[in-house]
Structure 1
Amino acid sequence: MVVIGGGLVGASLAIALEDSGLDVAMVEAAPAAAMPAVFDERNLSFAEATIHALTALGVMQRLRAPTGAITRIHASRRGDFGRVLLEAADYGRAAFGQVVVARDFGEALESRLAGVAGLVRHRGARFTGFGLDDNGHRVLELAGDGPSRLRARLVVAADGMHSGVREALGITATRHDYGQVLMLARLRAARAPDGTAYERLGDDGPTALLPRGDRAWGLVHGVATADAAAVQALDDAGFLARVQDAFGWRIGRLLSVGPRSAYPAVAMRADDTIAPRAVLVGNAAQSIHPVGAQGFNLGLRDAMTLAESLSACARGDGDPGDPALLAAYAARRREDRSRTLDFSDGLARLTANPGRGASLLRSAGLVALAALPGLQASVVGGAMGYRGDVPDACRAEAVR
C-alpha cells in the first residue's frame, strides 16, 4: 500500500502500520533535507485521545520542547453575557490535552519514522495521476526524485485540503469560506500561562490563547478577510493593541509578539472518503474551522482507525483494498466525522454572527452549558476525542 503525504496524519499512519505485516511506502513532496511546510511555528492542541495514540506510537516521548498542559478551558464572547469555565479536575483528569509546537512535533515524527522497519519513503516526489494494472490495482504516476510509477493494492490520500489524489479519484467536495483569516503567533503577557486555554469569540472570528510549555502563549486571532492585509501590515505594537482590544485583560498586558503567519479559514468536506482501492484521511477528507481545535485530532482518529482495520486484515492475509474493508472503515468513522464537522461548523457560524437574535441564543447557550453538568460532559468528551467508535490506540489502555 502507498500513503500519499508525509504530514501530520500521513506520517502518523505510516508509524501505526509498522507491525501490521503490510508493505508500506510513503510519497512525500518535501525532499529529505527539508520538513513539510505544515511543521511550522503554529500551536497544535492535542486532545487526550490524541496524546494516548501518539504515546502508544512512541512519538510523544521524542518531543524535545516542553508541552503546555490544558487544565482549564475558559470560553466567552465579546458582547454576550455568560461564560463557560471547564476544569479538567472536575472530570477526573489532570489535563484535557496538551499544546505542542508543530515544528517540534514534526521533528519527533521524523525521528520516529527513521526507525520504522520496512517503510519505503519516496521523498521529493509528487503524485500526478492514476492508472490501473491488469489486476485492477492502482498504478500511481509520480514526478520528481525516485520511481515514476508505483503499484498498490491500496492508496491512502493524506495530501491535505487541496488533495491531488482526491481530485484524481473524482471525489467532489463541499467548501465554505468563513470570510476570516487566522493570524498565528507566539506572544508573552504580564501573566504567564497557568494551564488555562482561552477562547474569546467575536464577529470576525475567535481570539484564542493557548498555554505553551515555554511560558509563552500561542495565539490564534481571527480577522475579517477584507481587513487581513492591513492587520498583517501592522507593526508589533499595533498588532498587540488590536489583540488586547479583542481579548481583554484576563492575562494582563500583552508584552511582545513573535513572527506572525496567516491562514484563511476555509472548511472542506469530501462527499466520499473511500473509492475503489483508495481512502481519504485527515485534511484530504475534511478540513474544519479551528474553533474548538479539532482538526488534527479528527484526522489522527482517521489514521488510527484505518491502521486498526488494516492490521486486522493483514493478520488474516486479507486484501487491504478490499471494498468491504473500506466500507467498514467509512462506517466506523461516520459518527465521529459527522458530529465533529457539524459541531465545528455550527460553532464557527453562530459565534461570528453579529445579529441580536444570535447574541441571545449564544448567551442562553453559554449560561446553559455553565449550569448543566450533563451538557458539559458531552462537550468535554467530544473535545477530548471520544466521539463515536473510538480506535483502541486512542484509549488510555493503549499506553498502560
Structure 2
Amino acid sequence: MSETHDVLIVGGGLVGASLAIALDRLGLRVGLVEATPGGVMPAVFDQRNLSFAGATVNALTALGVMAKLRTPAGAIRRIHVSRQGDFGRTVLDAADYGRQAFGQVVVARDFGEALEARLCELRGLTRYRPARFIALGDASPESRSLRIADESGEHELSARLLVAADGTRSAMRDALGIQAGEHDYLQTLFVARMRAAQAPDGTAYERFGAHGPTALLPRGDRHFGVVHGVAREQADAVAAEGEVAWLQRIQEAFGWRVGRFLATGERSAYPIVKVVAERVVDARAVVLGNAAQTLHPIGAQGFNLGLRDALTLAELVEQAEDPGAAAVLDAYAERRREDRRRTLEFSDSLARITGNASPLLRPLRSLGLMAADNSQALQSMLVGGAMGFRGEVPALCREIAP
C-alpha cells in the first residue's frame, strides 16, 4: 500500500477527528491514522465530562457534530468559584452578558459517538484503522512520508502536510525531534458521575482546596460530573474507598451547596502532568492538541484550546494552494501564539496559586476572589477566556450557535 494525501492526521481522538471533519468541506485528500479498530471507541472517549466553551459549541454546531449527540448536553449558565478556607467567591452569570450559557457539558463517550457518526459521513476521508505510527520516512520539497503498521503489515504513506494529533506522549512529536517540557503537579484527578439532593440548575462549581480542585459540572441527565483532585501519594487510598467514604470525601471537599451527595458512578483516575512542546511546526508538519500542549484540567481549557488549534489550521489550509507550505506553517505558529501562551499561563497560574496551602497567600486569594466578583472589567476578561475568545479566534468559533 502506498497512498498520497493532501493532509494526513495521526491520531483519531477528540482533536484529530474534529480536524478531519473541519477539512472535509475543502475537497482535499485527507487520511486519518487511528489506533482503534472500527466499532471500538478510543480510550479517551470515556465517562469524563467535557466542558465545551461557547466558542467550541459554536464550531461543533457548525460542523454538524452537536446535532449527533444522543443525550442532551448540560448548559453552563453560571460559574461559581471559591476556595476552601478562604473568604470571598466569584460568581459569573451568562445572563449578565446577554447570553443563555457560557458553554455546555458533554460526556466524552457521547462526544466520541457523535464524532464517529460525522466521520462516517465524510466522503473525502481515508481511515487507517487499527494502525499505529512507526517512523517518519523520506522527505522531499513537496511532501513527507511516514510508515504505519496495521493487521496486514507495514506500509508507507505520504502527504503534503502531516499532522501529529496523537496525544500527550506523542510518538510523532518525538520523531520530528520536537522537545517538550514537563511539570508534574503531583496530583491525581478522580472523575465520576454523581447524584445530589438538588439537581443541576446550570451552575458549574469550581471549589479549590490545598491538594487540588473539586469541580461540579451540570450534566444534561440531572447528575453532576464531579472532578476531584488529590495529592498523588493519596491516590491509591482514594481509589480504594468504598462508595460511602467517597461520597463523604466529596461532601467535605465541596460543601452543601447542592445538598447531600446521594450516589456515585464508577470512578476514573488521571495523574496530572503538564507537557508543552517547544514548537508546534516542522517541515511540512504540525503538532496540535494534547501533542502540542497538555494542560492541568483546571478551568477546562485543554480540549477547547486543542480544537482552536485544529480549526485555525483548517482555516489556513483552506486559503492555501499547498497545505504544507512553509508560509502556511509560519502563519499557523504565529496565529496560535497568543491564545496558546495566555491559556497556558491562565491554567498553570490558577493551578499553582489555588493549590498553594501557604497561609500567607490566603488573604491575597480571598481579595482576588472578591475583586473578581465586583469588577466588571475583570469579569469580562475572565468570561472571554472561559468562552474561548482569546487571540485571533477561528471563524467557526465566532459563529453563533442556534
TM-score of Structure 1 vs Structure 2, range by shorter chain: over 0.9
| Partner residue, 1:216 | 223
Q: Distance in 1 between matches of 2:57 and 2:140?
A: 43
Q: Distance in 1 between matches of 2:61 and 2:151?
A: 33
- Asked if the contact 2:28–2:124 (Cα under 8 Å) also holds between the matched residues in 1, the reply is no
Cα drift, residue 21 of structure 1: 2.5
Cα drift, residue 10 of structure 1: 0.4
Q: Distance in 2 between matches of 1:171 and 1:135?
A: 20
| Partner residue, 1:305 | 312
Residue correspondence of structure 1 range 1-400 to structure 2 within 5 A: 1-135=7-141, 137-145=143-151, 148-313=155-320, 318-397=321-400
Runs of 5+ unmatched residues, structure 2: 1-6
Cα drift, residue 360 of structure 1: 1.8
Q: Distance in 1 between matches of 2:294 and 2:387?
A: 18
What secondary structure is seen at the aligned counterpart in 1 of 2:384? helix
Q: Distance in 1 between matches of 2:48 and 2:141?
A: 44
| Partner residue, 2:4 | none
- Asked if the contact 2:193–2:226 (Cα under 8 Å) also holds between the matched residues in 1, the reply is yes
What secondary structure is seen at the aligned counterpart in 2 of 1:17? helix
| Partner residue, 2:3 | none
> Deviations for 1:257-285, whole angstroms, at most 9, x for unmatched residues?
00000001111110000011100110000
Q: Distance in 1 between matches of 2:112 and 2:148?
A: 24
- Counterpart of 1:292, as a letter, is G
- Counterpart of 2:383, as a letter, is V
> Deviations for 1:218-254, whole angstroms, at most 9, x for unmatched residues?
0000010000000000000011111111111111110
Q: Distance in 1 between matches of 2:56 and 2:72?
A: 17
What secondary structure is seen at the aligned counterpart in 2 of 1:364? helix
Cα drift, residue 395 of structure 1: 0.8
What secondary structure is seen at the aligned counterpart in 1 of 2:360? helix
Across the aligned residues of Structure 1 and Structure 2, the Cα RMSD in angstroms comes to 1.0
Q: Percent identity?
A: 61
- Counterpart of 2:175, as a letter, is A
What secondary structure is seen at the aligned counterpart in 2 of 1:266? strand
TM-score (norm 1): 0.97
> Deviations for 1:271-327, whole angstroms, at most 9, x for unmatched residues?
0000111001100000101110111000000000000000111xxxx2111111101
Count of residues in Structure 1 that have an aligned counterpart in Structure 2: 395
Q: Distance in 2 between matches of 1:133 and 1:200?
A: 50
- Asked if the contact 1:198–1:209 (Cα under 8 Å) also holds between the matched residues in 2, the reply is yes
Q: Distance in 1 between matches of 2:140 and 2:310?
A: 29
What secondary structure is seen at the aligned counterpart in 1 of 2:361? helix
Q: Distance in 2 between matches of 1:342 and 1:301?
A: 17
Q: Distance in 2 between matches of 1:169 and 1:357?
A: 44
Q: Distance in 2 between matches of 1:133 and 1:184?
A: 43
Return structure 1 stretches of 4+ with deviation > 6 angstroms.
none
Q: Distance in 1 between matches of 2:164 and 2:140?
A: 22
> Deviations for 1:58-110, whole angstroms, at most 9, x for unmatched residues?
00001010110000111000011100011000000000000000000000000
Q: Distance in 2 between matches of 1:190 and 1:352?
A: 28
Q: Distance in 1 between matches of 2:91 and 2:124?
A: 47
What secondary structure is seen at the aligned counterpart in 1 of 2:379? helix
What secondary structure is seen at the aligned counterpart in 2 of 1:148? strand
Q: Distance in 2 between matches of 1:136 and 1:100?
A: 40
Runs of 5+ unmatched residues, structure 1: none
Q: Distance in 2 between matches of 1:297 and 1:323?
A: 26
- Asked if the contact 1:21–1:311 (Cα under 8 Å) also holds between the matched residues in 2, the reply is no
- Asked if the contact 1:122–1:145 (Cα under 8 Å) also holds between the matched residues in 2, the reply is no
- Counterpart of 2:332, as a letter, is Y
Q: Distance in 1 between matches of 2:46 and 2:242?
A: 22
